[in-house]
Structure 1
Amino acid sequence: MLDKVIYVIRLSRYISQRENISLLTLFLEMLVLYITKRLGPLLYFEARLWRKGLSLRKKMRYFNESQYKRRINELNPEAYRKFSNNKLVEKSILTLLGIPTAEFIGYLHSATGSDCEGNQLINCQQFKDFLLLHDGEKLCFKLTEGWGGTGFLAVLVSKGEKGLYLSSLVEKSKKIPVNKFFDMYLLNNIHHGFVIESYIKQHDILANLNESSVNTLRVWVIQQDEKVKVVGALLRLGREGQLVDNSNQGGIICLLNLTTGKIKQGMTTGIIPCEFDRHPDSGAQLSGVQLPFWRESMNLAKSCLRVFPNTNFVGLDIAISVSGPIIVELNQEPDKVGARSFDQPHADLLRY
């Protein structure tokens, strides 16, 4: 508790000096928001509620964690969230209803695993036989119920003199025999299951920003009274050498013009973010870059929401390939902190 208090005081001093706002004003406002709306001091800084141009009435329309979860429960009944929490079920719905998504290759599971032809895929030997059919291909492995990029693997399958090898897409020279790869990366979680799919080749414009990761859009979409609307979108970029663009893996985000799809600026995802016009690793220009297939991406986001039963709000991850947008996954309870990039209170974004 004491550490948190010290941290809040440090944040307050920093903002006070940077924005020329008195400490008394900051502390009084935090106290009012906590007493009236139970908005804590960390949310106060995460959502930049200290901004001078933001009215107190608007600040009170932000949600704390419990208020956000309550609204999510109203929009998305908990019983139906399994459709998108389980990546195998989610992949099935997307594929059957014609929503563009990465090609499904197989499902590795210790009891119920199978490839897309119905052949069993439950152990290392069957995994080796399966890979023989995919020599030279790039494959992705996703935990069936993983989140935040945890457990994600992307590899190149190659045949050598002594058998099959798998190599990470960020360390292609490091080839690992299939048996060793299975024991190192898959065995401990095979009872949870891995969805195996083809690797998405992203559009050159996205690859130029950071090549090692498939960089994705995070799009918030809401449906009310049969009308579907995109309420916010940002671009997520990985860091050099990282396979994923998730913020908990060090990724950064870019603010976007929702109408045009142009990048405004890049920023880190900390409570006090660092802002920049170029990618901190690649040096690639960010500000002003026009994202390809923007209108198609927004239309796909709306179409995707419509196909999931009793689902009225999602945070979608969308990759942009050389031929157009592709759904990576759905999040029926996306991180509420991400909403600060949309510069609107939660109550307005979620029509409360």
Structure 2
Amino acid sequence: MSLLSEAKRRLKLAVDILSIMWRKSRQGHLPLWRQLRESCWLKWHRQQTFRFYLMARMWRREMPWDDKLAHFCYDDFHQLIDLLNPPTHRQLHRHKFAQKQHLLDAGIRTPALYGFFHPDHGIATDGSRLRDVESVAHLLHAHENEIVVFKPEIGSGGEGVVCYRIECLAEQVLLTHPLTGESEPLATRFTQLNHHGHGVVIEAFCHQHPKLAALNPDSVNTLRIWVTNEGNEPRVLGCFLRIGRRHVQVDNTAAGGLICTVDDHGVLQELSRGDLSREVLMQHPDTEVTVCGYPLPFFAEAKTLALRALAAFPDMGIAGLDIAIDEHGPLVLEINLDNPAQIGTACFDRPGRYLFPRLFATEKLA
């Protein structure tokens, strides 16, 4: 990125932040001058970003200053991750293919794994090579009429994740987009698959529970659950539901997804946009479903599964999991051990330091 492009990006972000702060003040929240004073103080003294200030909705009048101080800053969060998930160990678990294999070996319910495409060391689950278009076509022939997920081996925010229904015509494999119905030959899409330098994981699609599909059928709507096992005391730190938007296959906030808080019994509470505005919504803007008070199926089982998944990695002490729910119960789509994403605590609406009172009361994390 050129210096000019970076300067334009920063200027746009600054304008967006000021615009949101002004809008919040007009809605009756803290006045603009107070938001600016607080966010500047937190930036200077706590290395807290302006973006996090907005995502954590620190502009609310009812939010105590002590709670704002107790939110994670960059150093807090990365010290915590380094303490609970030692860097030398978590490097072993960065790759999604290795994670999936480990989860399957541990008996953790997760979508079926079909293979890992890479031009140099790709491999299918049956041990055959998966390194060129012919071998990928051979693999997909076995899954005709299924929806198959392709996701980059390393990545976040749902970037690069695509789903296609597999259709076979003689020797040709067609990839059909399940939302638009558009088809293209595998050979055409193969160039893009080959573009991901770290490779692509190929796995089964999760057909979500009807109660989740009713919220938005175009994406698999997932629970993001944080769990920890500090001091050999496994516990759930918090969770929220991500709900996608119409015509978008992923539910990630980076792709426009919405955030919904969840109470201890699995009942949905407050729905908001996943962008910096965190605008509260009374219903889903596309499906018009009223979300508040909506009960989730298999919620207790989802939390139990999240704890079991972390226990499958005994050298790890914290994780953020993406958990889907189908008609048979919860499944782990992905486990984030390298960086569970600091922004999660803003979405839980609970300051990070309050989640780890013992650690932040010691000299280990001052």
Output the TM-score relative to the length of structure 1: 0.91
Q: Which amino acid aligns with 2:73?
A: N
* Unmatched tracts of structure 1, length 5 or more: none
The CA deviation at 1:275 is: 1.4
Distance apart, 1:35 and its partner CA: 4.8
Amino acid at match of 2:335: L
Q: 1:165 aligns with which of 170, 174, 193?
A: 174
Structure 1 residue aligned with 2:298: 293
Q: What SS does structure 2 have at the residue aligned with 1:48?
A: coil
% same residue: 30
Change (3 A) 1:118 1:287: same
> Which of 70, 80, 86 is residue 89 of structure 2 equivalent to?
80
Matched, 1:211 2:220: no
1:210-244 deviations in whole A, cap 9, x for unaligned?
11111100011111221111111111111111111
Which amino acid letter does the alignment assign opposite residue 208 of structure 2? Q
The number of residue pairs the alignment matches comes to 348
2:55 paired with 1:46 = yes
Change (3 A) 1:58 1:202: same
Q: Residue 93 in 1 paired to residue 93 in 2? A: no
Q: Give distance in 1, aligned partners of 2:224 and 2:300.
A: 15
User: Per the alignment, do residues 50 and 135 of structure 1 end up closer, same or farther by CA in structure 2, a change over 3 Å counting?
Assistant: closer
Matches of residues 14-33 of structure 1 in structure 2 within 5 Å?
A: 14-19=23-28, 21-33=30-42
Q: Say if 2:265 and 2:299, in contact at 8 Å, map to a contact too.
A: yes
**Structure 1 pair 60–199 and aligned structure 2 pair: CA distance change class (3 A):** same
Q: Over residues 57-105 of structure 1, what are the superposed CA-to-partner deviations in whole Å (9 max), with x where a residue is unaligned?
A: 3321122223322222122111222343200110111000100011011
- Separation in 1, partners of 2:189, 2:49: 45
Q: How does 1:105-254 map to 2 (within 5 A)?
A: 105-160=114-169, 163-172=172-181, 174-183=182-191, 185-189=192-196, 191-254=197-260
Shift, 1:167, TM fit: 0.7
Kindly indicate whether residue 278 of structure 2 is the aligned counterpart of residue 269 of structure 1: no
Residue in 1 that maps onto 2:325: 320
Amino acid aligned to 1:180: T
| SS of 1:81 mapped into structure 2 | helix
Q: For 2:163 and 2:216, how far apart are their aligned partners in 1?
A: 16
Aligned to 2:3: none
How much does 1:170 deviate?
1.5
The structure-2 alpha-carbon separation of the partners of 1:242 and 1:12, relative to structure 1 and needing over 3 Å to count, comes to closer
2:175 counterpart SS class: strand
Q: CA RMSD, aligned part only?
A: 2.1
Q: Which amino acid aligns with 2:101?
A: S
Matches of 2:18 and 2:126, distance apart in 1: 60
List runs of 5+ in structure 2 lacking aligned partners: 1-9, 361-366
Once residues 68 and 117 of structure 2 are traced to their aligned partners in structure 1, the CA distance between those partners, rounded to angstroms, is: 47
Q: Distance in 2 between matches of 1:100 and 1:162?
A: 33
For the 8 Å contact 1:83–1:308, the answer to whether it is kept is no
Structure 1 residues 19 and 134, CA gap change in structure 2 (3 angstroms)? same
> What does the per-residue CA deviation read over 1:141-168, in whole Å, with 9 as the maximum and x for residues that have no partner?
1111122112212111112357331211
